[in-house]
Structure 1
Amino acid sequence: MGAAHRLLESIRKGERVDLGNNHYYALTLSGASGRVMVRDWMEGRFKDLVSNIEAWFSDLAIVARDGKGQAHDPKFMAVCGALVRELKDLPAPTAATLWKTAIQRLPIPQPIMAQALARFRTDLVDKDQPPFNHARMGLIKAYFIRLNQGGNTTMTAYLNPDHPSPAYHCGRLLAILANLQRAALGDVGAGVVQRYYAAASQTPGLIIGRLVSNARNHLGKLEGGLAYWYENQIADVMGRLGDGAPRILDLNGQGLFALGYYQQLAALREGKKTNETTQGETK
Protein backbone atom coordinates (compact mmCIF):
# COMPACT_ATOMS: atom_id res chain seq x y z
CA MET A 1 0.00 0.00 0.00
CA GLY A 2 2.90 2.35 0.74
CA ALA A 3 4.16 2.31 -2.86
CA ALA A 4 0.68 3.00 -4.24
CA HIS A 5 0.19 5.83 -1.74
CA ARG A 6 3.51 7.47 -2.64
CA LEU A 7 2.79 7.19 -6.35
CA LEU A 8 -0.70 8.62 -5.92
CA GLU A 9 0.64 11.53 -3.87
CA SER A 10 3.28 12.29 -6.50
CA ILE A 11 0.54 12.46 -9.15
CA ARG A 12 -1.65 14.69 -6.98
CA LYS A 13 1.24 17.05 -6.22
CA GLY A 14 2.19 17.32 -9.87
CA GLU A 15 5.52 15.57 -9.38
CA ARG A 16 4.60 12.92 -11.96
CA VAL A 17 2.69 14.91 -14.55
CA ASP A 18 3.72 12.30 -17.09
CA LEU A 19 1.38 9.82 -15.40
CA GLY A 20 -1.57 12.10 -14.69
CA ASN A 21 -3.26 11.63 -18.06
CA ASN A 22 -2.23 8.02 -18.64
CA HIS A 23 -4.79 5.25 -19.01
CA TYR A 24 -4.59 1.59 -18.08
CA TYR A 25 -5.94 -1.46 -19.90
CA ALA A 26 -6.39 -4.82 -18.20
CA LEU A 27 -7.37 -8.11 -19.80
CA THR A 28 -8.30 -11.05 -17.57
CA LEU A 29 -7.68 -14.50 -19.05
CA SER A 30 -8.11 -18.04 -17.78
CA GLY A 31 -7.86 -21.57 -19.09
CA ALA A 32 -10.97 -23.61 -19.87
CA SER A 33 -10.78 -27.13 -21.34
CA GLY A 34 -7.48 -26.46 -23.04
CA ARG A 35 -8.58 -23.09 -24.38
CA VAL A 36 -7.95 -19.51 -23.35
CA MET A 37 -11.05 -17.71 -22.11
CA VAL A 38 -11.42 -13.95 -21.82
CA ARG A 39 -12.94 -13.29 -18.41
CA ASP A 40 -12.98 -9.51 -18.36
CA TRP A 41 -11.72 -6.30 -19.90
CA MET A 42 -11.11 -3.12 -17.91
CA GLU A 43 -9.77 0.30 -18.76
CA GLY A 44 -9.63 3.69 -17.11
CA ARG A 45 -7.44 6.51 -15.85
CA PHE A 46 -4.12 5.45 -14.35
CA LYS A 47 -4.68 7.83 -11.44
CA ASP A 48 -7.92 6.02 -10.59
CA LEU A 49 -6.15 2.67 -10.79
CA VAL A 50 -3.52 3.74 -8.25
CA SER A 51 -6.20 5.20 -5.98
CA ASN A 52 -8.23 1.99 -6.14
CA ILE A 53 -5.20 -0.15 -5.34
CA GLU A 54 -4.45 2.05 -2.34
CA ALA A 55 -8.06 1.65 -1.18
CA TRP A 56 -7.85 -2.13 -1.65
CA PHE A 57 -4.94 -2.49 0.73
CA SER A 58 -6.40 0.03 3.16
CA ASP A 59 -9.68 -1.89 3.33
CA LEU A 60 -7.82 -5.20 3.80
CA ALA A 61 -5.71 -3.84 6.67
CA ILE A 62 -6.18 -5.94 9.80
CA VAL A 63 -4.44 -6.33 13.14
CA ALA A 64 -1.94 -9.19 13.25
CA ARG A 65 -3.08 -12.34 15.03
CA ASP A 66 -0.63 -11.70 17.88
CA GLY A 67 -1.93 -8.15 18.32
CA LYS A 68 1.45 -6.68 17.50
CA GLY A 69 0.67 -4.04 14.90
CA GLN A 70 -1.00 -4.55 11.56
CA ALA A 71 -0.45 -7.63 9.44
CA HIS A 72 1.59 -7.19 6.27
CA ASP A 73 -0.29 -6.25 3.12
CA PRO A 74 -1.39 -9.52 1.50
CA LYS A 75 -0.53 -10.43 -2.06
CA PHE A 76 -3.50 -10.82 -4.37
CA MET A 77 -3.11 -14.60 -4.61
CA ALA A 78 -2.98 -14.80 -0.82
CA VAL A 79 -6.42 -13.19 -0.73
CA CYS A 80 -7.64 -15.69 -3.31
CA GLY A 81 -6.10 -18.56 -1.36
CA ALA A 82 -7.89 -17.44 1.80
CA LEU A 83 -11.15 -18.68 0.27
CA VAL A 84 -10.12 -22.30 -0.24
CA ARG A 85 -8.11 -25.04 1.41
CA GLU A 86 -5.71 -25.19 -1.54
CA LEU A 87 -5.27 -22.54 -4.21
CA LYS A 88 -5.85 -25.07 -7.00
CA ASP A 89 -9.43 -25.40 -5.74
CA LEU A 90 -10.24 -21.75 -6.46
CA PRO A 91 -12.66 -21.34 -9.40
CA ALA A 92 -11.34 -19.02 -12.11
CA PRO A 93 -14.47 -16.81 -12.05
CA THR A 94 -13.92 -16.13 -8.34
CA ALA A 95 -10.37 -14.93 -8.93
CA ALA A 96 -11.57 -12.77 -11.83
CA THR A 97 -14.29 -11.24 -9.64
CA LEU A 98 -11.82 -10.41 -6.88
CA TRP A 99 -9.43 -8.87 -9.41
CA LYS A 100 -12.16 -6.64 -10.81
CA THR A 101 -13.25 -5.74 -7.27
CA ALA A 102 -9.73 -4.58 -6.44
CA ILE A 103 -9.07 -2.72 -9.70
CA GLN A 104 -12.41 -0.91 -9.85
CA ARG A 105 -13.03 -0.46 -6.12
CA LEU A 106 -16.27 -2.41 -6.18
CA PRO A 107 -18.21 -3.90 -3.26
CA ILE A 108 -17.12 -7.40 -2.34
CA PRO A 109 -19.89 -9.86 -3.29
CA GLN A 110 -21.54 -11.50 -0.30
CA PRO A 111 -20.90 -15.05 -1.63
CA ILE A 112 -17.16 -14.34 -1.46
CA MET A 113 -17.45 -13.11 2.13
CA ALA A 114 -19.51 -16.21 2.92
CA GLN A 115 -16.79 -18.41 1.44
CA ALA A 116 -14.13 -16.71 3.56
CA LEU A 117 -16.31 -17.09 6.63
CA ALA A 118 -16.89 -20.78 5.97
CA ARG A 119 -13.14 -21.38 5.68
CA PHE A 120 -12.58 -19.48 8.91
CA ARG A 121 -15.05 -21.69 10.78
CA THR A 122 -13.62 -24.86 9.27
CA ASP A 123 -10.01 -24.00 10.04
CA LEU A 124 -10.91 -22.92 13.57
CA VAL A 125 -11.49 -26.54 14.57
CA ASP A 126 -8.81 -28.06 12.31
CA LYS A 127 -5.51 -28.28 14.18
CA ASP A 128 -3.63 -28.77 10.90
CA GLN A 129 -4.79 -25.40 9.55
CA PRO A 130 -4.00 -21.96 11.02
CA PRO A 131 -7.45 -20.40 11.60
CA PHE A 132 -6.28 -16.81 11.66
CA ASN A 133 -5.36 -16.18 8.07
CA HIS A 134 -4.67 -12.45 7.85
CA ALA A 135 -5.82 -12.12 4.25
CA ARG A 136 -9.07 -13.91 5.10
CA MET A 137 -9.88 -11.71 8.07
CA GLY A 138 -8.93 -8.61 6.10
CA LEU A 139 -11.25 -9.66 3.28
CA ILE A 140 -14.17 -10.08 5.69
CA LYS A 141 -13.43 -6.63 7.12
CA ALA A 142 -13.20 -5.12 3.63
CA TYR A 143 -16.60 -6.58 2.80
CA PHE A 144 -18.21 -4.52 5.56
CA ILE A 145 -16.28 -1.37 4.68
CA ARG A 146 -17.55 -1.58 1.09
CA LEU A 147 -21.03 -2.75 1.99
CA ASN A 148 -22.36 0.81 2.15
CA GLN A 149 -21.49 3.64 -0.20
CA GLY A 150 -19.04 5.96 1.51
CA GLY A 151 -17.45 3.21 3.61
CA ASN A 152 -17.96 2.07 7.18
CA THR A 153 -16.06 4.04 9.81
CA THR A 154 -16.97 1.58 12.58
CA MET A 155 -14.98 -1.20 10.89
CA THR A 156 -11.35 -0.63 11.82
CA ALA A 157 -8.19 -2.70 11.60
CA TYR A 158 -8.04 -3.01 15.38
CA LEU A 159 -10.58 -3.82 18.06
CA ASN A 160 -13.42 -1.31 18.23
CA PRO A 161 -15.03 -1.48 21.72
CA ASP A 162 -17.65 1.03 20.56
CA HIS A 163 -18.83 -0.93 17.53
CA PRO A 164 -22.62 -0.58 17.22
CA SER A 165 -23.34 -4.21 16.30
CA PRO A 166 -24.35 -6.69 19.04
CA ALA A 167 -23.08 -9.48 16.77
CA TYR A 168 -19.58 -7.99 16.92
CA HIS A 169 -19.68 -7.89 20.72
CA CYS A 170 -20.94 -11.47 20.90
CA GLY A 171 -17.79 -12.50 19.04
CA ARG A 172 -15.70 -10.44 21.46
CA LEU A 173 -17.35 -12.15 24.39
CA LEU A 174 -16.57 -15.62 23.07
CA ALA A 175 -12.89 -14.65 22.72
CA ILE A 176 -12.81 -13.46 26.33
CA LEU A 177 -14.54 -16.61 27.58
CA ALA A 178 -12.10 -18.77 25.62
CA ASN A 179 -9.15 -16.94 27.15
CA LEU A 180 -10.70 -17.27 30.60
CA GLN A 181 -11.06 -21.02 30.16
CA ARG A 182 -7.44 -21.30 29.06
CA ALA A 183 -6.26 -19.24 32.04
CA ALA A 184 -8.24 -21.42 34.45
CA LEU A 185 -7.76 -24.89 32.99
CA GLY A 186 -4.83 -24.68 30.58
CA ASP A 187 -4.99 -26.56 27.27
CA VAL A 188 -8.09 -28.75 27.39
CA GLY A 189 -8.04 -29.87 23.76
CA ALA A 190 -11.53 -29.17 22.45
CA GLY A 191 -12.28 -25.97 24.32
CA VAL A 192 -15.20 -23.57 24.29
CA VAL A 193 -14.35 -22.29 20.80
CA GLN A 194 -14.08 -25.70 19.15
CA ARG A 195 -17.26 -26.89 20.84
CA TYR A 196 -19.47 -23.84 20.62
CA TYR A 197 -18.20 -21.40 17.97
CA ALA A 198 -20.52 -22.58 15.19
CA ALA A 199 -23.62 -22.47 17.39
CA ALA A 200 -22.67 -19.22 19.15
CA SER A 201 -22.03 -17.42 15.85
CA GLN A 202 -25.42 -18.43 14.45
CA THR A 203 -27.69 -18.45 17.51
CA PRO A 204 -25.86 -16.41 20.18
CA GLY A 205 -29.06 -15.79 22.13
CA LEU A 206 -29.28 -19.50 22.87
CA ILE A 207 -25.59 -20.08 23.66
CA ILE A 208 -23.89 -16.97 25.05
CA GLY A 209 -25.88 -16.84 28.30
CA ARG A 210 -25.06 -20.46 29.04
CA LEU A 211 -21.35 -19.87 28.42
CA VAL A 212 -21.29 -16.79 30.64
CA SER A 213 -22.96 -18.74 33.45
CA ASN A 214 -20.39 -21.52 33.10
CA ALA A 215 -17.60 -18.92 33.24
CA ARG A 216 -18.25 -18.53 36.97
CA ASN A 217 -16.69 -21.95 37.51
CA HIS A 218 -13.55 -20.80 35.69
CA LEU A 219 -13.40 -17.52 37.60
CA GLY A 220 -13.32 -19.48 40.85
CA LYS A 221 -10.09 -21.16 39.81
CA LEU A 222 -8.20 -17.89 39.29
CA GLU A 223 -6.41 -15.64 41.74
CA GLY A 224 -8.38 -12.63 42.92
CA GLY A 225 -6.78 -9.97 40.72
CA LEU A 226 -7.04 -11.97 37.51
CA ALA A 227 -10.56 -13.13 38.28
CA TYR A 228 -11.59 -9.52 38.90
CA TRP A 229 -10.05 -8.45 35.58
CA TYR A 230 -11.96 -11.10 33.64
CA GLU A 231 -15.18 -10.24 35.46
CA ASN A 232 -14.77 -6.62 34.37
CA GLN A 233 -14.06 -7.63 30.77
CA ILE A 234 -17.15 -9.82 30.62
CA ALA A 235 -19.33 -7.19 32.30
CA ASP A 236 -18.14 -4.48 29.91
CA VAL A 237 -19.00 -6.49 26.81
CA MET A 238 -22.30 -7.70 28.26
CA GLY A 239 -23.19 -4.08 28.93
CA ARG A 240 -22.77 -3.30 25.23
CA LEU A 241 -25.28 -5.98 24.24
CA GLY A 242 -28.17 -3.87 25.49
CA ASP A 243 -31.21 -6.12 25.68
CA GLY A 244 -29.07 -9.21 25.30
CA ALA A 245 -27.48 -11.31 22.59
CA PRO A 246 -29.43 -11.58 19.33
CA ARG A 247 -31.37 -14.80 19.05
CA ILE A 248 -30.28 -15.50 15.47
CA LEU A 249 -27.58 -13.95 13.26
CA ASP A 250 -27.81 -13.69 9.49
CA LEU A 251 -24.74 -14.05 7.28
CA ASN A 252 -23.61 -10.47 7.83
CA GLY A 253 -24.07 -10.88 11.56
CA GLN A 254 -21.92 -14.01 11.48
CA GLY A 255 -19.21 -12.06 9.66
CA LEU A 256 -19.26 -9.35 12.34
CA PHE A 257 -19.16 -12.05 15.01
CA ALA A 258 -16.00 -13.48 13.42
CA LEU A 259 -14.33 -10.06 13.28
CA GLY A 260 -15.25 -9.28 16.87
CA TYR A 261 -13.83 -12.63 17.97
CA TYR A 262 -10.61 -12.20 16.01
CA GLN A 263 -9.92 -8.59 16.94
CA GLN A 264 -10.70 -9.17 20.61
CA LEU A 265 -8.39 -12.18 20.70
CA ALA A 266 -5.60 -10.15 19.08
CA ALA A 267 -6.13 -7.41 21.69
CA LEU A 268 -5.97 -9.96 24.51
CA ARG A 269 -2.75 -11.41 23.14
CA GLU A 270 -1.19 -7.96 22.86
CA GLY A 271 -2.35 -7.14 26.39
CA LYS A 272 -0.76 -10.32 27.69
CA LYS A 273 2.58 -9.43 26.11
CA THR A 274 2.38 -5.91 27.49
CA ASN A 275 1.67 -7.21 30.99
CA GLU A 276 4.52 -9.71 30.78
CA THR A 277 6.92 -6.97 29.67
CA THR A 278 5.82 -4.67 32.47
CA GLN A 279 6.23 -7.41 35.07
CA GLY A 280 9.68 -8.21 33.72
CA GLU A 281 10.74 -4.58 34.00
CA THR A 282 9.58 -4.32 37.61
CA LYS A 283 11.43 -7.42 38.79
Structure 2
Amino acid sequence: MSLPTPSTPAGHDGLQALLSHPSGAVIGLDFDGTLAPIVADPERARAHPEAVSVLAALAPKVASVAVITGRPAEVAVRHGGFAGVAGLEHLTVLGHYGAERWDAATGEVTAPEPHPGVAAVRAELPALLDGTGAWIEEKGGRAVAVHTRRAPDPQAAFDALRTPLTDLAVRHGLIVEPGRLVLELRPPGMDKGVALQTHMRELSATSVLYAGDDLGDLPAFSTVENLRTTGTPGLLVCSGSDEVTELRKRADLVVDGPDGVVTLLRTLAEHLT
Protein backbone atom coordinates (compact mmCIF):
# COMPACT_ATOMS: atom_id res chain seq x y z
CA MET A 1 0.00 0.00 0.00
CA SER A 2 1.31 3.44 -0.90
CA LEU A 3 1.68 6.20 1.66
CA PRO A 4 -0.73 9.13 1.41
CA THR A 5 0.61 12.42 0.09
CA PRO A 6 0.76 15.30 2.60
CA SER A 7 -1.15 18.40 1.52
CA THR A 8 1.67 20.83 2.44
CA PRO A 9 5.34 21.16 1.45
CA ALA A 10 6.34 21.09 5.15
CA GLY A 11 4.41 17.87 5.66
CA HIS A 12 6.02 16.35 2.57
CA ASP A 13 9.47 17.24 3.93
CA GLY A 14 8.56 15.76 7.31
CA LEU A 15 7.47 12.46 5.77
CA GLN A 16 10.57 12.25 3.59
CA ALA A 17 12.87 12.93 6.57
CA LEU A 18 11.17 10.17 8.55
CA LEU A 19 11.49 7.72 5.68
CA SER A 20 15.13 8.54 4.96
CA HIS A 21 16.34 8.45 8.58
CA PRO A 22 13.81 6.51 10.70
CA SER A 23 16.28 5.83 13.53
CA GLY A 24 16.12 9.53 14.38
CA ALA A 25 12.33 9.82 14.22
CA VAL A 26 9.82 10.18 17.06
CA ILE A 27 6.23 9.08 16.43
CA GLY A 28 3.98 10.98 18.84
CA LEU A 29 0.40 9.78 19.26
CA ASP A 30 -2.58 10.93 21.27
CA PHE A 31 -4.63 8.08 22.79
CA ASP A 32 -8.37 8.87 22.95
CA GLY A 33 -9.73 9.64 19.49
CA THR A 34 -6.43 8.75 17.83
CA LEU A 35 -5.44 5.26 18.91
CA ALA A 36 -8.78 4.56 20.59
CA PRO A 37 -12.29 5.49 19.44
CA ILE A 38 -14.11 8.12 21.51
CA VAL A 39 -16.76 6.55 23.75
CA ALA A 40 -19.28 8.05 26.20
CA ASP A 41 -17.51 6.49 29.21
CA PRO A 42 -13.70 6.97 29.12
CA GLU A 43 -13.25 3.93 31.34
CA ARG A 44 -14.57 1.79 28.49
CA ALA A 45 -12.15 3.21 25.92
CA ARG A 46 -9.78 0.66 24.41
CA ALA A 47 -7.12 0.93 21.73
CA HIS A 48 -8.04 -0.01 18.19
CA PRO A 49 -7.84 -3.83 17.94
CA GLU A 50 -4.90 -3.64 15.53
CA ALA A 51 -3.05 -0.79 17.25
CA VAL A 52 -0.71 -2.89 19.40
CA SER A 53 0.46 -5.14 16.56
CA VAL A 54 1.02 -2.12 14.30
CA LEU A 55 2.99 -0.26 16.98
CA ALA A 56 5.06 -3.39 17.66
CA ALA A 57 5.98 -3.48 13.96
CA LEU A 58 6.77 0.25 13.84
CA ALA A 59 8.52 0.92 17.16
CA PRO A 60 11.76 -1.05 16.51
CA LYS A 61 12.32 0.96 13.32
CA VAL A 62 12.23 4.46 14.88
CA ALA A 63 13.85 6.24 17.80
CA SER A 64 10.65 6.16 19.83
CA VAL A 65 6.89 5.79 19.70
CA ALA A 66 5.46 8.09 22.38
CA VAL A 67 1.81 7.93 23.41
CA ILE A 68 1.11 11.39 24.88
CA THR A 69 -2.13 11.57 26.84
CA GLY A 70 -3.95 13.42 29.57
CA ARG A 71 -4.77 10.09 31.19
CA PRO A 72 -2.63 8.59 33.95
CA ALA A 73 0.17 6.62 32.30
CA GLU A 74 -0.89 3.36 33.97
CA VAL A 75 -4.47 3.76 32.67
CA ALA A 76 -3.30 4.39 29.11
CA VAL A 77 -1.02 1.34 29.30
CA ARG A 78 -3.87 -0.83 30.57
CA HIS A 79 -6.46 0.45 28.09
CA GLY A 80 -3.93 0.27 25.28
CA GLY A 81 -2.76 -3.25 26.08
CA PHE A 82 0.87 -2.10 25.81
CA ALA A 83 2.49 -4.03 28.67
CA GLY A 84 4.62 -7.09 27.96
CA VAL A 85 4.36 -6.92 24.16
CA ALA A 86 7.40 -8.00 22.16
CA GLY A 87 8.59 -5.25 19.81
CA LEU A 88 7.36 -2.38 21.97
CA GLU A 89 10.66 -1.80 23.76
CA HIS A 90 10.85 1.64 22.08
CA LEU A 91 7.38 2.63 23.33
CA THR A 92 6.96 5.34 25.97
CA VAL A 93 3.69 6.55 27.47
CA LEU A 94 3.77 10.14 28.68
CA GLY A 95 0.74 10.38 30.95
CA HIS A 96 -0.80 13.49 32.49
CA TYR A 97 0.68 15.50 29.61
CA GLY A 98 4.18 14.37 30.46
CA ALA A 99 3.98 14.55 34.27
CA GLU A 100 4.09 10.74 34.34
CA ARG A 101 6.24 8.45 32.23
CA TRP A 102 5.98 4.71 31.55
CA ASP A 103 8.67 2.95 29.54
CA ALA A 104 7.92 -0.41 27.97
CA ALA A 105 11.55 -1.44 28.40
CA THR A 106 11.25 -1.29 32.22
CA GLY A 107 7.50 -1.43 32.82
CA GLU A 108 7.87 1.29 35.47
CA VAL A 109 6.01 4.58 36.00
CA THR A 110 7.90 7.63 37.25
CA ALA A 111 6.16 10.83 38.42
CA PRO A 112 6.53 13.86 40.72
CA GLU A 113 4.16 14.70 43.60
CA PRO A 114 0.65 15.91 42.56
CA HIS A 115 -0.31 19.60 42.63
CA PRO A 116 -2.35 20.32 45.83
CA GLY A 117 -4.89 22.37 43.88
CA VAL A 118 -6.22 19.23 42.20
CA ALA A 119 -7.49 17.75 45.47
CA ALA A 120 -9.01 21.11 46.47
CA VAL A 121 -10.88 21.41 43.17
CA ARG A 122 -12.08 17.82 43.36
CA ALA A 123 -13.66 18.48 46.76
CA GLU A 124 -15.70 21.42 45.40
CA LEU A 125 -16.83 19.92 42.11
CA PRO A 126 -19.85 17.82 43.25
CA ALA A 127 -21.74 20.89 44.51
CA LEU A 128 -20.88 22.85 41.38
CA LEU A 129 -22.02 20.08 39.02
CA ASP A 130 -25.22 19.15 40.86
CA GLY A 131 -28.13 18.99 38.41
CA THR A 132 -26.04 19.61 35.27
CA GLY A 133 -25.83 16.03 34.04
CA ALA A 134 -22.04 16.32 33.92
CA TRP A 135 -19.80 13.79 35.63
CA ILE A 136 -16.25 13.67 36.94
CA GLU A 137 -13.34 11.59 35.66
CA GLU A 138 -10.55 11.07 38.18
CA LYS A 139 -7.03 11.36 36.80
CA GLY A 140 -4.85 9.92 39.49
CA GLY A 141 -4.80 13.05 41.65
CA ARG A 142 -2.92 15.00 38.95
CA ALA A 143 -5.93 16.41 37.10
CA VAL A 144 -9.70 16.09 37.01
CA ALA A 145 -12.00 16.13 33.97
CA VAL A 146 -15.66 17.12 33.76
CA HIS A 147 -17.55 15.38 30.94
CA THR A 148 -20.84 16.58 29.49
CA ARG A 149 -21.29 13.99 26.73
CA ARG A 150 -23.98 12.14 28.72
CA ALA A 151 -25.89 15.29 29.80
CA PRO A 152 -29.38 15.86 28.29
CA ASP A 153 -27.94 18.71 26.19
CA PRO A 154 -24.15 18.05 26.09
CA GLN A 155 -23.12 21.27 24.34
CA ALA A 156 -25.33 23.49 26.52
CA ALA A 157 -23.91 21.89 29.67
CA PHE A 158 -20.37 22.35 28.34
CA ASP A 159 -20.98 26.03 27.58
CA ALA A 160 -22.67 26.70 30.93
CA LEU A 161 -19.86 25.09 32.94
CA ARG A 162 -16.89 26.64 31.18
CA THR A 163 -16.82 29.94 33.10
CA PRO A 164 -17.53 28.58 36.63
CA LEU A 165 -14.98 25.80 36.16
CA THR A 166 -12.40 28.31 34.96
CA ASP A 167 -13.06 30.47 38.04
CA LEU A 168 -12.70 27.41 40.28
CA ALA A 169 -9.45 26.39 38.61
CA VAL A 170 -7.92 29.84 38.90
CA ARG A 171 -8.69 30.02 42.63
CA HIS A 172 -6.62 26.87 43.17
CA GLY A 173 -3.75 27.63 40.80
CA LEU A 174 -4.95 25.41 37.95
CA ILE A 175 -5.99 25.95 34.34
CA VAL A 176 -8.92 24.62 32.30
CA GLU A 177 -8.26 22.76 29.04
CA PRO A 178 -11.39 22.34 26.88
CA GLY A 179 -11.84 19.31 24.67
CA ARG A 180 -14.56 17.34 22.93
CA LEU A 181 -17.40 17.86 25.46
CA VAL A 182 -14.89 17.72 28.31
CA LEU A 183 -13.28 20.38 30.50
CA GLU A 184 -10.09 19.31 32.23
CA LEU A 185 -8.69 21.11 35.27
CA ARG A 186 -4.95 20.64 35.67
CA PRO A 187 -1.75 22.40 36.77
CA PRO A 188 -0.23 24.97 34.40
CA GLY A 189 2.82 23.99 32.40
CA MET A 190 1.47 20.52 31.63
CA ASP A 191 0.69 20.13 27.93
CA LYS A 192 1.42 17.78 25.07
CA GLY A 193 3.67 20.28 23.32
CA VAL A 194 6.06 20.49 26.28
CA ALA A 195 5.96 16.72 26.68
CA LEU A 196 6.71 16.11 23.01
CA GLN A 197 9.54 18.65 22.84
CA THR A 198 11.17 17.34 26.02
CA HIS A 199 11.02 13.75 24.75
CA MET A 200 12.52 14.72 21.40
CA ARG A 201 15.30 16.67 23.08
CA GLU A 202 16.18 13.67 25.26
CA LEU A 203 16.56 11.51 22.15
CA SER A 204 18.19 14.15 19.91
CA ALA A 205 15.42 13.37 17.43
CA THR A 206 15.88 14.48 13.83
CA SER A 207 12.22 14.30 12.71
CA VAL A 208 8.76 13.86 14.16
CA LEU A 209 5.26 12.72 13.29
CA TYR A 210 2.45 13.74 15.63
CA ALA A 211 -1.15 12.54 15.36
CA GLY A 212 -4.05 13.88 17.43
CA ASP A 213 -7.76 14.67 17.31
CA ASP A 214 -8.66 17.23 19.99
CA LEU A 215 -7.96 20.73 21.30
CA GLY A 216 -5.49 19.28 23.81
CA ASP A 217 -3.33 18.28 20.84
CA LEU A 218 -2.92 21.85 19.61
CA PRO A 219 0.17 22.50 21.79
CA ALA A 220 1.84 19.46 20.20
CA PHE A 221 0.91 20.77 16.75
CA SER A 222 2.47 24.11 17.69
CA THR A 223 5.63 22.38 18.89
CA VAL A 224 6.00 20.57 15.57
CA GLU A 225 5.36 23.79 13.66
CA ASN A 226 8.00 25.60 15.73
CA LEU A 227 10.51 22.78 15.28
CA ARG A 228 10.04 22.96 11.53
CA THR A 229 11.06 26.64 11.54
CA THR A 230 14.35 25.68 13.22
CA GLY A 231 15.21 22.83 10.86
CA THR A 232 13.58 19.74 12.39
CA PRO A 233 11.15 18.28 9.84
CA GLY A 234 7.74 17.18 11.06
CA LEU A 235 4.46 15.71 9.84
CA LEU A 236 1.13 16.69 11.45
CA VAL A 237 -1.72 14.18 11.26
CA CYS A 238 -5.34 14.83 12.22
CA SER A 239 -7.42 11.85 13.30
CA GLY A 240 -10.49 13.23 11.58
CA SER A 241 -13.30 14.64 13.72
CA ASP A 242 -16.17 16.94 12.87
CA GLU A 243 -16.14 18.16 16.49
CA VAL A 244 -12.71 19.83 16.24
CA THR A 245 -11.96 21.68 13.01
CA GLU A 246 -8.80 23.59 13.94
CA LEU A 247 -6.60 20.48 13.91
CA ARG A 248 -7.97 19.53 10.52
CA LYS A 249 -7.06 22.98 9.14
CA ARG A 250 -3.49 22.83 10.50
CA ALA A 251 -2.75 19.19 9.64
CA ASP A 252 -0.63 17.99 6.73
CA LEU A 253 -2.66 14.78 6.58
CA VAL A 254 -6.24 14.07 7.66
CA VAL A 255 -7.15 10.43 8.20
CA ASP A 256 -10.42 8.72 9.11
CA GLY A 257 -10.19 8.46 12.91
CA PRO A 258 -8.37 5.60 14.68
CA ASP A 259 -8.95 3.30 11.69
CA GLY A 260 -7.10 5.78 9.49
CA VAL A 261 -4.32 6.31 12.05
CA VAL A 262 -3.68 2.57 12.33
CA THR A 263 -3.68 2.19 8.55
CA LEU A 264 -1.20 5.06 8.19
CA LEU A 265 1.13 3.63 10.85
CA ARG A 266 0.94 0.15 9.31
CA THR A 267 1.82 1.52 5.88
CA LEU A 268 4.64 3.56 7.36
CA ALA A 269 6.09 0.48 9.08
CA GLU A 270 5.99 -1.40 5.80
CA HIS A 271 7.95 1.35 4.04
CA LEU A 272 10.69 1.66 6.67
CA THR A 273 13.81 -0.43 6.31
State the TM bucket, normalised to the shorter chain. under 0.3
Relative to the length of structure 1, the TM-score reads 0.25
Relative to the length of structure 2, the TM-score reads 0.26
Greater strand content: 2
Q: Which has the larger radius of gyration?
A: 1
